[in-house]
C-alpha cells in the first residue's frame, strides 16, 4: 500500500500525486532488519519494485511462502522501579527463569536467594540498565533460539518523545518521502525503499497481494457487523479484542478514493478502546 500509517494523520499540506494509484502492486526485492543506534528500536528496510503488468499466478502466491521461525522459549517482563535502580538487580519470575535460563553466557550474575526465594540478575545488570538508559515501564525480552543461544532485547514504553531517534523520520517527512519515491518508481519501473517501524507505524502498509485481494474482493462487511481482531500486547502476548463496524468510507476520499486503507470505522467493546485505532483496514 502506498499510504503510510503513523501515530499522526497525514496533514492536508502533503502534496498530491495524481499519477499514483491508491494501491501499488510491487515485488519485494530485498529486506534488511535494523535496530536504531540510540533507542534500540527495531525497524525494517524494504526495497520494492513496482509491477507494471503483474502475472496473476505469480503475484497471488500464498501469504506465507517463507515463515520466520519463532523462538521456542521466551519471556517478556515490564520493568519495575526496582529493576531499573542502579543499586538493585533484575527480578526474574521463577517459571520464566527455569524455562529460559540454563547456564548464562552473559555478563550478569545469576543467583537464587531471598524470602520467598527468587531468581535475580545482579552484577552487570546495573551497567546494562545505564548503558541502555532503561526506565520503569520499559520491557526486556529474553529469547532462547533453536540453537540454544540466549538473546536479549528491549522494548521501550510508549512515551512522548522530545527528540526523534536518528533513524526515524517525522510523520510528515515520511509521508512526503514515501509518496514521492513511490510515484517516481511507478512511472519509471525503478526500485524504491521504504522503512517500516512497528512502533511508529502500527498499521501494515505493505501486505501480501493475496491477502489484499482476499480482504477486498472476498470479504463482505456491513455497518453493525461484529468482528474480532488480534493484537500483540506490550508483554508480547496476544489479545483478541471484540468490536463493531460503525461506518465504512475512504480515509482520504479526495486524494485516495477506493483505497480501502483504514476504511472501516470501528467501536471497541472494552474500556481500553483508547489504546486501539478507531479506523482499521479490511485485512
pLDDT for 21: 84
Q: How many CB atoms lie within 10 A of CB 29?
A: 12
Do 105 and 130 share a domain, yes or no? yes
pLDDT for 233: 67
Instruction: Mark which of 155, 183, 209 sits at the end of a domain.
Output: 155
Do 129 and 207 share a domain, yes or no? no
Do 172 and 140 share a domain, yes or no? no
Do 62 and 44 share a domain, yes or no? yes
Do 273 and 187 share a domain, yes or no? yes
Do 147 and 256 share a domain, yes or no? no
Domain hosting residue 37, numbered range: 26-69+162-280
In a domain, 16, yes or no: no
In a domain, 4, yes or no: no
- Report cis status (omega within 30 of 0) of the bond before 116: yes
pLDDT for 47: 94
Burial of residue 128, with CB atoms counted within 10 A of its CB: 0-12 exposed, 13-18 middle, 19 or more buried: middle
Do 101 and 35 share a domain, yes or no? no
Q: C-alpha angle 21/23/24, rounded to 5°?
A: 85
Instruction: Mark which of 98, 120, 155 sits at the end of a domain.
Output: 155
Do 56 and 170 share a domain, yes or no? yes
| pLDDT tens, position by position, 142-187 | 888 888 888 888 888 776 554 444 444 445 555 677 788 888 898 8
- As a whole number of angstroms, the distance between CA 105 and CA 182 comes to 45
pLDDT for 169: 46
In a domain, 253, yes or no: yes
pLDDT for 29: 92
Q: Domain total for the chain?
A: 2
Q: C-alpha angle 268/270/272, rounded to 5°?
A: 95
- Mark the ranges of the chain whose per-residue pLDDT is less than 70: 1-14, 53-72, 102-107, 159-175, 201-202, 233-237, 271-275
Query: Is the whole model's pTM more than 0.85, yes or no?
Result: no
- How far apart, in Å, do the first and last CA atoms of the chain sit? 12
pLDDT for 174: 59
Do 231 and 204 share a domain, yes or no? yes
Do 134 and 208 share a domain, yes or no? no
In a domain, 94, yes or no: yes
Please give the torsion angle defined by the CA atoms of residues 167, 168, 174 and 180, in that order, rounded to the nearest 10 degrees.
Answer: 0
Instruction: Mark which of 100, 126, 155 sits at the end of a domain.
Output: 155
Place of cell 506465507: 64
In a domain, 46, yes or no: yes
pLDDT for 64: 44
Q: What is the CATH number of the domain that holds 140?
A: 2.40.330.10
In a domain, 10, yes or no: no
Do 168 and 267 share a domain, yes or no? yes
pLDDT for 265: 93
Q: What is the DSSP string of the chain?
A: ------SSPPPTTSPP-TTS-SS--EEEEEEEEEE-TTT--EEEEEEEEE-SS--HHHHS--TTSS-PPPPSEEEEEEPPTTTT-TTS-EEE-HHHHHHH-SS--SSS-EEEETTTTEEEE-TTHHHHHHHHT--BTBEEEEEE-TTS-EEEEEE------SS--TT---HHHHHHHHHHHHHHHHHHT--EEEEE-TTT--S--S--HHHHHHHHHS----TT-EEEEEEE-TTS-EEEEEEEEEEE--SSTTTSTT--TT-EEEEESSGGGGGS-SEE---
In a domain, 9, yes or no: no
In a domain, 40, yes or no: yes
Amino acid at each position: 500500500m502506498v499510504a503510510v500509517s503513523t501515530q499522526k494523520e497525514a496533514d492536508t499540506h502533503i502534496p498530491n500525486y495524481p499519477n499514483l494509484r491508491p494501491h501499488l502492486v510491487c515485488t519485494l526485492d530485498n529486506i534488511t532488519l535494523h535496530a536504531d543506534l540510540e533507542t534500540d528500536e527495531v525497524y525494517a528496510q524494504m526495497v520494492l519494485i513496482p509491477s507494471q503488468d503483474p502475472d496473476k499466478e505469480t503475484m497471488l502466491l500464498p501469504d506465507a511462502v517463507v515463515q520466520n521461525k519463532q523462538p521456542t522459549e521466551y519471556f517478556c517482563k515490564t520493568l519495575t522501579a526496582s529493576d531499573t535502580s542502579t543499586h538493585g538487580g533484575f527480578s526474574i519470575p521463577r517459571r520464566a527463569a527455569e524455562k529460559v535460563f540454563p547456564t548464562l553466557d552473559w555478563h550478569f550474575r545469576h543467583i537464587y536467594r531471598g524470602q520467598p526465594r527468587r531468581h535475580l540478575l545482579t552484577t552487570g545488570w546495573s551497567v546494562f540498565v545505564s548503558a541502555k538508559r532503561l526506565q520503569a515501564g520499559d520491557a526486556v525480552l529474553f529469547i532462547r533460539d533453536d540453537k540454544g543461544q540466549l538473546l536479549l532485547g528491549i522494548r521501550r514504553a510508549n512515551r512522548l518523545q522530545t527528540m526523534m531517534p536518528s533513524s526515524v523520520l517525522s510523520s510528515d517527512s515520511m509521508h512526503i518521502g514515501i509518496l514521492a519515491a513511490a510515484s517516481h518508481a511507478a512511472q519509471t519501473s525503478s526500485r524504491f525503499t521504504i522503512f517500516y517501524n512497528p512502533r511508529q507505524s502500527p498499521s501494515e502498509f505493505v501486505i501480501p497481494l493475496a491477502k489484499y485481494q482476499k480482504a477486498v474482493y472476498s470479504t463482505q462487511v456491513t455497518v453493525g457487523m461484529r468482528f474480532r481482531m488480534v493484537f500483540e500486547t506490550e508483554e508480547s502476548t496476544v489479545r483478541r479484542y471484540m468490536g463493531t463496524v460503525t461506518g465504512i468510507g475512504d480515509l482520504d476520499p479526495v486524494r485516495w478514493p477506493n483505497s480501502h486503507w483504514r476504511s472501516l470505522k470501528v467501536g471497541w467493546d472494552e474500556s481500553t478502546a483508547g489504546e486501539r485505532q478507531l479506523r482499521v483496514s479490511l485485512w
